[in-house]
Structure 1
C-alpha cells in the first residue's frame, strides 16, 4: 500500500488552505515493512517505495512502535481515546485517525479503501473540514 504515500501528498496539497496536514509515523511492527534505520527511510521512499524521486510534503517522524511496551506516546493517547474494541493498532496503512487542530481526536477509521476511492479517507476529511462531521 505504499502507493498511498502519493495520495497523502495529494491530500496535503488539496486541503492546504484548511490548515490540514498529515503526520506520518513509520513502523516496523506489521510484516517488517519498514526494516530500515531512521536515516534510511527517506531515501527508501525516494528510490524504492514509492520511488521516482518521491518526497513527502508532510512531517514524517522517527520510526517507532505503535503497540506494546515501547509504543510512542501519540499511539497510547489515540488508542486510549477510542480503543475500537482492541488495545492495538492492526496496521498503520489502514487505521487512521482524524484529529483536529487542538489535538483532539475526532474519529478512528479502520479501512482498506484507498484514500481517493469514493467514500474513502479523502471524503471523510472533506466532510470534517467543511461540515464538522463525517457521514458513516
Structure 2
C-alpha cells in the first residue's frame, strides 16, 4: 500500500482567527523529491527522492525518540520510521521544503496575527502556526492539501488519502 507523507510543523502559538479544517494546494512543476533532510542523529543526509512513490516518514535524538517511546504514544512504542533533525519551518532560517510547501498550500486561517511571542522573523501570512498543522503530499511529490492544526482526528484525512490512493 502506498502511503503519503504528512509533514508536521514546529511548536508555535495557536491563531485566534477563524480557521478552515483544510485548504487545497495549487499544482506546480516542482515536487518534494528535490529536497533533503539530515537524520536526527546527524549521521547522514537523506534525499527525499529516495522515498519517491512510498513512505510515511526535541532537541536531540534521545529526547525525540524517548518522547515517542515513553510519552506520546508511550507504552514502549517504537515506530518503524526515519527520524529527521529538527528544522525551522518559518522565518529567515526556514528549511527549503517548507518554503516550497507554503508556496503551493494557502494558509488555513482567515487572518494572520503577528505576535511578539513567536521566536522567529520575519512573520508571514503563510507561516505554519502550530505543530500539528499537516501537509498531504501525493506519490508524485506534489502538495495536495494543507490541514489546520485543529484537524487532530486522523479520520478527517481518510477520504483525501483514499482519493489519492484511487488515482
TM-score by length of 2: 0.54
TM-superposed deviation, 1:60: 2.9
Q: How many residues were matched structurally?
A: 106
**Which residue of structure 2 lines up, in the alignment, with residue 122 of structure 1?**
158
Aligned-partner Cα distance in 1 for 2:161–2:80: 17
Q: Which runs of 5+ in 1 are unaligned?
A: 1-16
Partner SS for 2:154: coil
Structure 2: runs of 5 or more not aligned: 15-57, 111-124
Question: Higher helix share goes to which structure?
Answer: 1
Higher relative contact order (CA 8 A, sep 6+): 2
Which protein is bigger by CA-based radius of gyration? 2
Inter-CA distance 80–127: structure 2 relative to 1 (3 Å threshold): same
Deviations 1:41-94, CA, capped at 9 Å, x for gaps: 01111012221112233333211111111111111110011232732012131x
Kept in 1: contact 2:68–2:74 (CA 8 A): yes
Provide the secondary structure at the position in 2 that maps to 1:54: coil
